[in-house]
Homo-oligomer: A and B are copies of this chain.
């Protein structure tokens, strides 16, 4: 995928001030319900989590309940498991086609975190804002749907089934479902002390999209323009968009080759939140210690200059359609990072060692002074080719 031209509402015969992100009030604020509230709400559904594995011809067919983002259900058809995940998000940027891609990639990420390569079916949910005009709806929603469909096809699956309703905010989401044999997925509780943590996309996606919106808001832009140029912001935005819109499928494939013990996808709770959630699921008494934070270039500086409102350094800055955080045997992590860069698997995308697993009480933390790895634009810089008539 090459970097698309910046979305131009006028080319769609929409008002030049049309902005997809106006159809939610959340912007870069977390749309997810806080984890402690969630856990309390979901308690009644979490009975007997570890006790319901089933036996089939001597093999254990595992069950995974509501603790992780993906569930695993032993099927009546012996030896098979149903693996499912669901996600929904609100617009984080203004390009409808790219938002459709991002929504689909985000839904699939939780399957990839289980090492599932093949999705049997996707369902798509869309909330059409009841504040949109019919004209806006008819121009914008088909672009969103096309983006969603294109990514599903890149993932080798299709969207058969949908639910589309009116809602105050635009909603984008879906379900990914697959039926697997036991060797086609990796359960998320087999981490051991000594494992190395690898991350497959840079952090800071929501910082980049927020700051990009601030280009139009002088009182915000003036506070940060001393540390960052407009060009920096535009590059980070493009890079964030491309990262959010790409699949974690290659990483899922490499999890088998390098004997990954488990993984999780990084979204609304930030790298630390998801690491903590994963640590809680472990059979062994482990601590995930994160000492490196790969961040989109300049976005850590911007975050600091703006009073640290994004909590990037604390690891709780929400990401949209982020990378996989993968737990690999110590001797495999460097090989994984080398291989994912090769065109054969990773389409040239980087991954970074971000931490290690120690003995501990099933939690995660970030070291006092984590090292920021400035991730230079990869995709965007190569492809950037301003087109006459676009606003970029």
Residues of A within 8 A of B (CB): 25-26, 31-33, 37-38, 40-42, 44-45, 63-66, 70-71, 73, 75-77, 80, 82, 84-88, 118, 120-121, 123-125, 128, 130, 137-138, 141-142, 145-146, 149, 158-169, 171, 173, 175, 177, 179, 181
Contacting A77 at CB < 8 Å: which of B32, B42, B80, B165?
B80
Contacting pair B88 A163 (CB below 8 A): yes
Query: A76 touching B118 by the CB < 8 A rule?
Result: yes
Interface centre among A40, A128, A175 (most CB of B within 10 A): A175
Bound complex: CA of A175 vs CA of B124, how far in Å? Answer: 11
Cβ–Cβ < 8 Å partners of A77 in chain B: 77, 80, 179, 181
Complex: A84 Cα to B171 Cα, angstroms: 21
Whether A166 and B66, one on each chain, are in contact in the complex, defined by CB atoms closer than 8 angstroms, is: no
24 contacts across the A-B interface (CB closer than 8 A) = A25-B130, A32-B165, A32-B166, A41-B142, A41-B164, A42-B145, A44-B149, A45-B124, A45-B158, A45-B162, A64-B160, A66-B161, A71-B121, A71-B160, A73-B120, A73-B160, A77-B77, A80-B80, A80-B179, A82-B120, A86-B161, A86-B175, A163-B173, A167-B168
Q: Is the CB of B121 within 8 A of A161?
A: no
The 9 residue pairs across chains A and B that have the minimum distance between CB atoms: A71-B161, A168-B168, A71-B160, A73-B121, A86-B163, A33-B164, A86-B123, A175-B175, A75-B179
A26 neighbours in B (Cβ, 8 Å): 166
In the complex, the chain B residue whose C-beta lies closest to that of A118 is B76
Establish whether residues A164 and B38, one from each chain, have CB atoms under 8 Å apart when the complex forms: yes
Cα–Cα, bound, A88→B88 (Å): 13
- Give the CA-CA distance A177 to B83 in the complex, in Å: 11
* Nearest chain B CB to A151 CB, angstrom units: 13
Chain B residues near A31 (CB-CB < 8 A): 165-166
B contact residues around A159 at 8 Å (CB): 45, 66
A84 near B179 (CB under 8 angstroms)? no
Cα–Cα, bound, A82→B80 (Å): 12
| Smallest beta-carbon distance A154→chain B, Å | 15
Contact residue among B76, B121, B142, B164 (Cβ-Cβ distance under 8 Å from A82) = B121
Which residues on the B side are within 8 Å of A168 (C-beta)?
25, 167-169
Among B145, B163, B175, the residue within 8 A (CB) of A123 is: B175
Please, which residues of chain B bring their CB within 8 A of the CB of A175?
84, 86, 123, 175
A32-B165, A65-B160, A76-B120 provided; 5 other pairs, C-beta below 8 A? A31-B166, A75-B179, A86-B162, A167-B167, A167-B169
Contacts of A124 in B (CB 8 A): 45
Say whether B125 contacts A86, CB under 8 Å: yes
CB distance from A79 to the nearest CB of B (A): 9
Most B C-beta atoms less than 10 A away, residue of A42, A63, A165: A165
